[in-house]
Amino acid sequence: MALRDSGDRAVGLNSHAAAASLYDDALGLWPADDAERPDLLFRVARALFHAYDEGRREQALEEARDALLEVGDRVRAGEAESFLSNVAWERGQGPIVRDHVRRAEELVGDSRSPSSARVLATSARMHVLGDERDEGLRVGHAALEMAEALELDALRAHALTTIGMAKNTLDGTSGLQDMERALAIALEADSPVASSIVNNLAVHAIFNGTLSRSDELYAEAQRLAERYGDGANVRFIRANRIWLDFMLGRWEQSFARANVFIEECESLPHLQEGNVRQTRAAMSWARGDFAASWKDEERALALARQRGETAQLIAALSFTAANKAEEGRYGEARELVAELVPLVRAFGPHGALTRVGVFAEKLGAVESLRAALDHGAGPPAAPWRKAVDATLAGDLRAAADVFAGRGNPTLEAYLRYFAGLQLLDEGRADEGATELEKALAFYRPVAASHYVAAAEARLAGVQSESA
């Protein structure tokens, strides 16, 4: 009992690995047939979950769930299922996530308890992350009502954040107030959920095109996650920052961190592997290492299809289609665009569409993409819509200006490069050369040798013709 109490105190200090060790020691002394043993098994599993112990946490949660069911504690068993849904989500196992969520809801039924509130809050979040906004809102409000009635501040904050995320998919902004209120509640309660909320605010900033603000928020989210010992969130934020470093022009840092993360995924699968591989692929492509780029690109697309998460699949399809078109493999690119169009109709504007938009006319995809955007879901005034519309209209320079205004030098340079080529092909030598020089000002410091060599060759040709 003393060891168990010490484990509880360690949990209160967010020292989850230490708590798991203390609970393990208590378990070694606990009578096998004692009625409180299933509860102790659950404490061990919960501590291992928060400590991000991938070697043990899934098995421990399953053992705790089964032991709780044996003694008739369906509600706590449902809470164990909700933790298992998080484990599956972090690994990118969509169908398994849904199975655990459904089982957790069945186990708690109409009960009202802290465990029931956690199950509802987790279920709501998974519905929203699975593009089921309406169901996520419904369950989120039920979770919020229960958390408020039971005075559970951490779960109030969790549910409010989910509600905010769902509302933001409607108009891009209306849920921000809910998320900020959730953060205030979490910080006041000194709850570890604060790091997750700040991470979601950083993602919101990205979708609104304010990358510098997202950079600040990710740094704060990681600081909080480390302070609270939230290993799962630390790893998730690390992956998000790899993409952001790339977009902000910090390619060396991004590439090095991507290598480490992808190597980790060999033994510790993670739902962000596809995004990180796609980021590394983009840098490899720009640097002329096409074999490495295609390897990462194919793996990223396979993972995106496996997960079925719409935003990630749009990004992977757009990137792959653009690179195939750049190589002149238009037939393969058209097949990918055909897969992309219905996803855009379901999701709405996405910044990655500017890549495939560069080649939309050559692929005969301008009208189909435009129709999907006009009749699709998603916030109607998404910041990236202007850039996507400009590429579909063939005005790549205007699209580059959008990204310049949003502080995204990587996509700005990409569009200026192709704008320069387009203008040169139209016989507008001075304007084309200006755009290529702007692209080179970014590509030279980041060692993007493929684009540097191609741009310099075209500029040399212009100078020769002029002479």
Give pLDDT tens digits for 13-35.
999 999 999 999 999 999 999 99
Closest CA to 169 of 340, 313, 346: 346
> Which residues lie below 8 Å from residue 299, measured CB to CB, with a gap of 6+?
273, 274, 277
- How far is 225 from 235, CA to CA, in rounded Å? 9
DSSP-assigned states of every residue in 122-187: HHHHHHHHTT-HHHHHHHHHHHHHHHHHTT-HHHHHHHHHHHHHHHHHHHSSTTHHHHHHHHHHHH
Cβ–Cβ contacts within 10 Å for residue 284, how many?
21
The answer to whether the Cα torsion of 260, 50, 140, 174 is positive or negative is negative
The predicted pLDDT at position 465 comes to 74
Q: How far apart are CA 183 and CA 191, in angstroms?
A: 10
Residue 345 CA: distances (Å) to CA of 129, 311, 321, 342: 18, 12, 18, 5
Task: Find all residues with CB under 8 Å of 427, minimum gap 6, and list them.
Answer: none
Q: What is the pLDDT of residue 377?
A: 64
Angstrom distance (rounded) from CA 59 to CA 71: 19
Q: Which residues are CB-contacts of 375 (< 8 A; sequence separation ≥ 6)? A: 345
Cα angle, residue 128 at apex, residues 127 and 133 outer, rounded to 5°: 95
Which residues does the chain have with pLDDT short of 70? 172, 376-382, 467
Q: How many whole angstroms separate alpha carbon 400 and alpha carbon 413?
A: 7
What pLDDT, on the 0 to 100 scale, is given for residue 376?
A: 66
Return the half-sphere exposure (C-beta side, CA atoms, 13 A cut-off) of residue 216.
Answer: 4
Nearest CA among 376, 407, 409 for reference residue 208:
407
Q: How many CA atoms lie within 13 A of 136 on its CB side?
A: 24
Can you give the pLDDT at residue 222? 97
Rounded Cα distance between 447 and 255, Å, is 12
pTM (whole model) above 0.75? yes
pLDDT at residue 133 in the model: 86
Q: Which residues, 6+ apart, have CB-to-CB distance to 454 below 8 Å? A: 417
Q: What is the length of the chain?
A: 467
